[in-house]
Amino acid sequence: MNQRTSNILFNIGIAFLILGGIGLTFMAFFTFIGLPIFIIGIILISLSKKKLKTKIIWIFSMITLVILFWPIWIKINTEKPETYLIPENYSGKIIIVYGEDCGIEPLIENGRRVLEIPNNGILIIKPEFEGGIIDHKYYFVNKNKERTKIERYENDSDRTQHVPGIRLIGSGGIGGIMIDGSSSTESPLAIRYTEFEVYQDTLTDYNSKEEQKFDSLMKDIVNECRN
């Protein structure tokens, strides 16, 4: 290997190392791509004829930066920790409506926002919705305020393993009327929410009529709250 080829390998290796480091550090969803790129960068730098000290400095500097910055990135991008307290016999949908002046200001317990779910499953709060990495804990609560932890599952196959359990369906919005008469989630009248499904001892399938009924109830409760 001549010096020119060695320099090319080294420079490409550095580029891969930096790109892979950015992927690993700033974008969690990029990890499966960022890690291979990072490893390729290490290999290319190792194959070059640069001094061993130079190789070690570059490789270990990038590894150290990723290790040091990763928990900082996680901290910055994690939404406010939340604890969900759900009536012990509740099953079905839960909706948290965010950013409503008429909503409640949740209590803070050990640095975590406590969301006490009412019997109808619909809670309206003042804080705005925060996107990011979630830090949720879920509990059933009995009449004596005793808590029983609920497992959260990610997909349908997990449902058979975690019953009772809870699933985070996702976040969304219902459009409100704009000045021009159109409907948009950017409207001040839009409803912004996060939706969950709670299962007790049985698993239920999607029911469009029940979904529509619950969504209608949620709109009515929000409108009543606003008025």
Name 46's Cβ contacts closer than 8 Å, sequence gap at least 6.
13, 55, 59
Check residue 206 and give its pLDDT: 61
Last residue in a domain, options 29, 62, 77: 77
Q: Are residues 127 and 67 in the same domain?
A: no
- Are 126 and 221 in contact by the 8 Å Cβ rule? The answer is no
Query: According to the model, what pLDDT value does residue 98 have?
Result: 93
Q: What is the pLDDT of residue 140?
A: 93
Neighbours of 104 (CB within 10 A): 15
Q: Structure pTM? A: 0.67
Domain that holds residue 15: 3-77
What pLDDT is stored for residue 34 in this prediction?
77
The 10 Å Cβ neighbour count of residue 45 is 23
Give the chain's domain count: 2
Residues 157 and 46 occupy one common structural domain: no
Task: Please indicate, yes or no, whether residues 102 and 64 belong to a single structural domain of this protein.
Answer: no
**Structure-derived torsion over alpha carbons of residues 56, 59, 60, 66, reported in degrees to the nearest 10:** 170
**For the chain, which residues score pLDDT lower than 50?**
none
The pLDDT of residue 139 is: 94
**149 and 108 both lie in a single domain:** yes
Contact call for residues 58 and 83 (beta carbons, < 8 A): no
Measured at the CA of 172, the angle between CA 138 and CA 135, to 5 degrees, comes to 30
Q: Which residues of 130-161 are buried (b: 16+ CB within 10 A; e: fewer)?
A: eeeeeebebebbeeeeebeebebbeeeeebee
Cα-based angle 48, 52, 57 (whole degrees, multiple of 5): 100
